[in-house]
Amino acid sequence: MTAALTNNPQARLPALSKTRVAQGLLGVAVLLVLTKTVLPAGLVRPPEWLVWPFADWINALFNFMRDDLGLMHVTRGFAEGVEWLLDVTANLLYGRNRWPYLGPIPWSVIAVTAGVVGYALQGWRLALLSAGTFVWIVVMGQWTWSMETLSVIVVAAPFSILFGLLIGVLGWKSRRVEKILNPILNIAQSLPHFAYMIPVVVFIGVGPKAGAIVTIIFSVPPMIRMTLLGLKKVSPEVVESGHMCGATRWQLLHSVQIPTARTDILVGVNQVIMQCLAMVVLASFIGMPGLGQKLLQLLQALKIGRSVEIGITIVLLAVMLDRCTKAWAVRQPEHFEKGTSWVVRNKFLVIWAVLVAVAFALAQVFPMLDQVKRSQALSMAKPIDAVVDWFIVLIDPVTQWLRWFLITWILIPMRDAYLYLPFSAVLALLAAIGWAIGGLRSALVCIAFFGLIAMSGWWDRAMITVYMVSFSVLLALLVGFPMGIWGARHDKRAVKVLLICDTLQTFPSFIYLIPVVMLFGVNDVAVVSAVFLFAAVPLVRYTIEGLRGVPEALIEAANMSGATQRQTLWNVRLPMALPTIMVGVNQSVMFSLFMVIIAAFIGTQDLGQEMQRALSSTDVGKGLVLGLAVAFMGLMVDHLVNRWASRRRQALGLA
Amino acid sequence: MKTQFKLFTLAAGLSLSATATFAEDSSDPIVIPTHNWSSQIVMSHVVGQIFESMGANVEYVSTDSQAVYESVRLGDVTLELEVWEGAFGNSFRAAQEKGGIVDAGDHNAITREDWWYPSWTKDACPGLPDWEALNACKAEFVTPETGENGRFLGGPVDWLKHDAERVEALDMDFTVVNAGSASALWAEVAAAEKTKRPVVIFNWTPNFVEALYPGEFVEFPKWEEGCDTDPSVGPNPDATYDCGNPANGYLKKAAWDGMEEKWPAAYKTLTEVSFTNPQIAEMAKLVDIDEMEPEEAASAWLESNEDVWKPWVAGGA
């Protein structure tokens, strides 16, 4: 919101009347604030008749679906199926006592397999990364936990991919389905994770199967989107030639359209896997075993060093899977001459089979290659803990001062100001911003989203969430933007900074919460600094990508006309990169909204705290209402930024 | 609906479990929930391993400690080993009213939850543990966010501890700040320890924190029956909650109401299980201080305490 505000003047609006309307609405907003003391109560806070019992309706609907429609049996039936698969993978990967009673597979076999996959996809570097990840896991004594995690992901990811493909194809076949799908996907992708979990607990229960299902639900949307996108891009000529060969509709889809859309679909697969890893920690709240569960236990006992080790494992797994799927997406299928021997065509399969046989045999002789016990493992927890302790004591005077300064002079006044605003003034202000950016339609969109939040009955809490998010994003802009400019200076530096961004993004956010409390105590400064860390990442990333994406010719032209470096930056690069940077602002708001909900574990008085309570009392209606309130904030910002960026792109001739 | 569902799980269970046992108990796994604090996890593994020694199949699943009562009620998990009167009494009672969950008896341990401070706080405020002395040194606990008042860091709001009401009723110069999770409470203590800053937080016993940071509970006016409902009880005649929490809360076990029928022997043992405060503290210590894994800690505990648990097993001793 703040971001949209500050960028408003640069939007160079074509129609003067539009500015007039926006100014008028802004005037109304200011007037409402100034006259707050004499305003009727109904304009200060949503009056009673405006607050609708959405939560009760949702609960009634869910009870009806569960008890009267018997949907519970359907979901539980599906869950039983998933559970059967989970038992199989659990047996193979970590030897759970279930059919087929074969596992656990020796770690060396899994590491070798990963290495061969990496080599086949890209070469030595990826092979080293893939195999190295598993060696790290075993050396750090995290094998069983990691396999518990992977046993769920291995089941969840294919389901997501399959559902994503199916729904994507349906949406592509029928305009009507696509029309219904779009808003659902928008909401699904901006709903906080906890909101999904409550219905899952009710319909599925707890345990690995619930973890798998919540992961599937969470990771499906990007797959649907990428499938749709990919299929839409297939050129009519390709389809035409399929028709000419006499392909049936199924053949056309299966052998022509999907293979042509391959790259986009594989990007979707990549997204699914990333989302699965993002859920590792959160899903353990409802029974997903493995790394996430262990991480929460260790954090609870303040074992930061060992939590960081687990965090590193999650990052490594994410980086490895990301690189592998990306390599797969880029790789074009190989075609062999007729008559090439089977061994040559399947050389990687052969290499793999040989290596696996060797690994199996060696594992029989050397038990260390089969299983490694925790007591045999290494740990770097002690030095990490020592560094953390040292750091906290060292900067204690600074943090104490910062805590005092931020709370007394910025956060408390800002929070009071947000809470002081009459809700009618907030709506008028948002309408003004909407109107200035996208005319009547955007103004109505803004009012609709925030009007619904007002009607949910959680206005004050929503304003606290808005206050924390807007301050964090502002802070992230102040830091992330210059860092992005600095990072974009050289190619090598850009690569390094982007790698740090990747790492920060996949590092489990829960780990930040404890050090932040140790630094600042339980208060808004701790919350804001945890959220800020998350909000800064997309800003840095998109600033770099935006600046580096500016066409060379333009920069050359600027250089030729004798522009200094500073002039090129401010007058050519930045204006050209602004639409991309705004996408970063948009992402930053989204990330902050997710993080501020998680920061409820530090202690907040916002929507996140209520969401946490809804989860512990399994109150589906309340959880979804709160989740939707958060989603609407995100969607409003998304709408405004997209409107603004697309106009801007058109103005710059980039669209 | 319920029987249908039971049949379903039973069928699914039968088709999956090839390792049938000769005990009269069902060979379906007994599902034991674990939460995010170590004593509960170790205790779950201890009881799980006892069940296993009786020939049962046991599985562990990590769940939220409040939401678990809904799962016990539905039979998704079979039992719960640590029902704290203060923290989970409400959730347990609510689930009991809905039906499906039964009380499987109390542990020997008593629980206490109240305002607590680590020992170094006493250096700054020597009159402790008396609550009036605490109030007199409020200046030691002042923070930017609480202004002139001292800061008391309470547990998450949904633990419903009525700290704010108590501050009001006893006219204390403290402001209650609610942490969002137990981890946040410990993180505060850990940070305060590094600079020996005085803090007063919500804490309970038995708990691993006692082993890491010695401390004491603040002594409020003694709890009397009706202190929370009748204003005339307690020092302030016009307010409720003008007293400390009960110093001897129960620690209970709960079970799914189908457990007795399905695993009669295990259920019998469950009702016999009873741990004391020192035993619970030791289980926590094995993990939190000695850095054992919960499974190993449970085995180690069982090995060195056979005389404690053998009598719980029917026909054992």
- Distance between B118 CA and the closest CA of chain A, angstroms: 16
Same-domain check for residues B74 and B125: no
Determine contact: A152 vs chain B, CB below 8 A: no
Count chain A–chain B contacts defined by CB atoms under 8 A: 162
At residue B160, does pLDDT exceed 70?
Answer: yes
Mean pLDDT over residues A492-508, rounded? 89
Q: Residues 235-264, chain B: which have Cβ within 8 Å of A? A: none
Please report residues of A whose CB lies closer than 8 A to that of B16: 84, 87, 98-99
Whether B226 maps to a domain, the answer reads no
Same-domain check for residues B106 and B117: no
Same-domain check for residues B118 and B93: no
At residue B1, does pLDDT exceed 80?
Answer: no
Q: Pick one of 3.30.565.10, 1.10.1740.10, 1.10.10.10, 1.10.3720.10 as the CATH number of A2-66+393-652.
A: 1.10.3720.10
Whether B232 maps to a domain, the answer reads no
At residue B284, does pLDDT exceed 90?
Answer: no
At residue A642, does pLDDT exceed 80?
Answer: yes
Closest chain A residue to the Cα of B71, Cα to Cα = A205
Mean pLDDT over residues A431-458, rounded? 94
Phi-psi region of A582 (alpha: psi -120 to 50; beta: other; left: phi over 0): alpha
* A312-338 per-residue burial string, b: 16 or more CB within 10 A, e: under 16: bbbbbbbbbbbbbbbbbbeeeeeeeee
At residue A561, does pLDDT exceed 70?
Answer: yes
Determine contact: A38 vs chain B, CB below 8 A: no
Confidence of residue B274 (pLDDT cuts 50, 70, 90): very high
Please name the member of A76, A99, A514 whose beta carbon is closest to the beta carbon of B187: A514
CA A562 to chain centre: 43
- What would the two tokens of residue B82 be? 């640590």
Last residue of a domain, one of B198, B217, B236: B217
Contact call for B287 and A289, based on CB within 8 A: no
Mean pLDDT over residues B252-279, rounded? 93
Contact call for B66 and A299, based on CB within 8 A: no
Predicted pLDDT of residue B65: 83
Same-domain check for residues B32 and B101: yes
Q: Which domain holds residue B254?
A: 2-110+249-312
Confidence of residue A14 (pLDDT cuts 50, 70, 90): low
Question: Are B58 and B29 in contact, with CB atoms under 8 Å apart?
Answer: yes
Predicted pLDDT of residue B315: 58
With tokens 């009620």, the residue in question is B73
Q: What are the tens digits of pLDDT across the range A526-547?
A: 999 999 998 999 999 999 999 9
Predicted pLDDT of residue A15: 52
Determine contact: B211 vs chain A, CB below 8 A: no
Q: What are the tens digits of pLDDT across the range B22-58?
A: 447 888 889 999 987 888 999 999 999 999 999 899 9
Determine contact: A368 vs chain B, CB below 8 A: no
Report the SS3 class of residue B93: helix
Q: What is the pTM of this model?
A: 0.87
Contact call for B158 and A617, based on CB within 8 A: yes
Phi-psi region of B224 (alpha: psi -120 to 50; beta: other; left: phi over 0): beta
Confidence of residue A97 (pLDDT cuts 50, 70, 90): confident
Mean pLDDT over residues A399-425, rounded? 94
Predicted pLDDT of residue A101: 86
Whether B237 maps to a domain, the answer reads no
List B103's β-bridge partners, or say none. B254
Last residue of a domain, one of B172, B198, B217: B217
Predicted pLDDT of residue B2: 42
Mean pLDDT of chain A: 90
Angle at A455 between CA A452 and CA A460, to 5 degrees: 100
Q: What are the tens digits of pLDDT across the range A338-348?
A: 888 888 888 88
Q: What CATH number does residue B121 fall under?
A: 3.40.190.100
Task: Note the maximum CA span of chain A.
Answer: 89
Which of B30, B181, B286 is the best residue to mutate to test the A interface, defined by the most A CB atoms within 10 Å of its own CB?
Answer: B181
Determine contact: A45 vs chain B, CB below 8 A: no
HEC-encoded secondary structure of B139-159: HHHECHHHCCCEEEEECCHHH
Contact call for A300 and B62, based on CB within 8 A: no
Contact call for A523 and B145, based on CB within 8 A: yes
Please name the member of A201, A293, A603 whose beta carbon is closest to the beta carbon of B179: A603
Determine contact: B124 vs chain A, CB below 8 A: no
Domain borders along chain A are 2-66+393-652, 70-105+140-332
* A103-124 per-residue burial string, b: 16 or more CB within 10 A, e: under 16: bbbbbbbbbbbbbbbbbbbbee
Distance CA B141, CA B149 (A): 8
Angle at A60 between CA B73 and CA A191, to 5 degrees: 90
At residue B11, does pLDDT exceed 60?
Answer: no
Contacts of residues A394-400 at CB distance under 8 Å and 24 or more positions apart, as own/partner, are A395/A519, A396/B194, A396/B195, A399/A519, A399/A520
State residue B179 phi and psi, 5-degree precision.
-75, 160
* CATH assignment, A70-105+140-332: 1.10.3720.10
Top pLDDT among A131 and B8 is at A131
Q: What are the tens digits of pLDDT across the range A203-261?
A: 888 888 999 999 999 999 999 999 999 999 888 899 899 889 988 888 888 888 888 89
Please name the member of B63, B184, B195 whose beta carbon is closest to the beta carbon of A393: B195
Whether B229 maps to a domain, the answer reads no
Number of domains, chain B: 2
Determine contact: B156 vs chain A, CB below 8 A: yes
Q: What CATH number does residue B53 fall under?
A: 3.40.190.10
Mean pLDDT of chain B: 86
